[in-house]
Amino acid sequence: MTEQVAEKASKPGVPRETQRVAQPTNIEIPELHAQNLKWTKADDIQTSISKLYQYAEASANASINWYGRHKNSLARWSQGLRSLTIILTSLGGLMPIISALGWSTVNVPVVGSLNLGQLGYLFLGLAAACVGYDKFFGYSSGWMRYITTKMTLEKTLAEFRLDWAMMIAKLGDNPPTPDQVQLMIQRLKEFLLVTNNHVEKETQAWISEFKTNIAEIEKTSKTQVEASQPGAIEITVTNGMETEDGFTVALDGMEIRKVRGTKYQIGYVPPGPHKIAITGIIKKEPLDASELVNVAPGEIAKATLAFPVKEAQP
């Protein structure tokens, strides 16, 4: 993103080099110029320790502020989509009830007359789309993760501040010994590792969730493509040869063609139930027959029909 939000650290004592411009999509960690730290004189050691502490605290605050800012955006999306889902689901459930009470249609400009019962399915479909959109982009789950991570970082920072205060209290007015300096640096290192681990854990959770959502979308798309593959219907008319001029085949009320013989195959038929009908003339008598056939995706369904020929009276 090109837009930047200039948010400089406002905590007193934070060095100027740690005041960075924060990106909306990245956690900006303040820089630490370790080569400038000095460890020879007592005053230099205290100054270096102070800079390390300020760096560690500023790093934690940068992460906390980032999660605090971005959770609000996720909250708005989550609440909006969930509210819309509730409204659409309620409307979808009410439409059949309103239709049953006698108000079955509604006139909409340009569109025309709409059936309220069927309109309910549209609302339910839109509600499901809102849930799917929220799940795919992780607005609700991300909101929860951001809140949890922010609270965990705040707790970790509070514990670190108290531990650091205890270490400073033990020093009193004396400068830290080399061993105490090592312990203080080690505590700073542990604190930074813990905060980074919290952020990394949240990021890995997002990656895992995103991969899972992508896999589900691909699986659903593949299933829908497979389910929409056209099939075919192979028709056998046992007494088709007895017709005077062949027989006519119709699919779902639409005439396909006239056939001479006993077999015919209709290709590119959408999956689902279809009505096959045949008409013909046998012994100058118009006859017809029909059968309901269920076509599976990518498969050939078979239908066997026969004209109801009346037996000759003795």
Q: How far apart are CA 24 and CA 73, in angstroms?
A: 11
Which CATH number fits the domain 231-305, given the four candidates 3.30.70, 1.10.150, 1.10.3470, 2.60.40? 2.60.40
> What is the model's pTM?
0.57
Per-residue model confidence (pLDDT) at position 108: 64
pLDDT tens readout for residues 105-129: 666 665 566 666 667 788 888 888 8
CB-count burial class (<10 Å; 0-12, 13-18, 19+) for 102: exposed
- Ordered by start, the domain boundaries in the chain are 16-226, 231-305
Q: Could you tell me which residue, 306 or 226, shows the higher pLDDT?
A: 306
Element (H or E) spanning 60, and its range?
helix 42-100
Three-state DSSP string of 167-221:
HHHHHCCCCCCHHHHHHHHHHHHHHHHHHHHHHHHHHHHHHHHHHHHHHHHHHHH
Nearest to 225 by CA among 128, 297, 301: 297
Per-residue model confidence (pLDDT) at position 30: 65
| Mean predicted lDDT score pLDDT of the chain | 81
Return the minimum-mean-pLDDT range out of 3-7, 266-270, 275-279: 3-7
**Side chain identity, residue 279:** T
Give the whole-number percent of the chain exceeding pLDDT 70.
Answer: 82
**Pair of tokens at residue 300:** 């050939």
Per-residue model confidence (pLDDT) at position 225: 75
**What are the φ and ψ backbone dihedral angles of 233, each rounded to 5 degrees?**
-130, 125
How many CA atoms does the CB half-sphere of 59 hold within 13 Å? 22
Per-residue model confidence (pLDDT) at position 198: 92
Return the minimum-mean-pLDDT range out of 102-116, 242-256, 287-301: 102-116
Mean pLDDT of the region 271-285 = 91
- Residue at token pair 């709409």: 114
Per-residue model confidence (pLDDT) at position 21: 31
Nearest to 75 by CA among 2, 9, 147: 147
Q: How far apart are CA 116 and CA 291, in angstroms?
A: 32
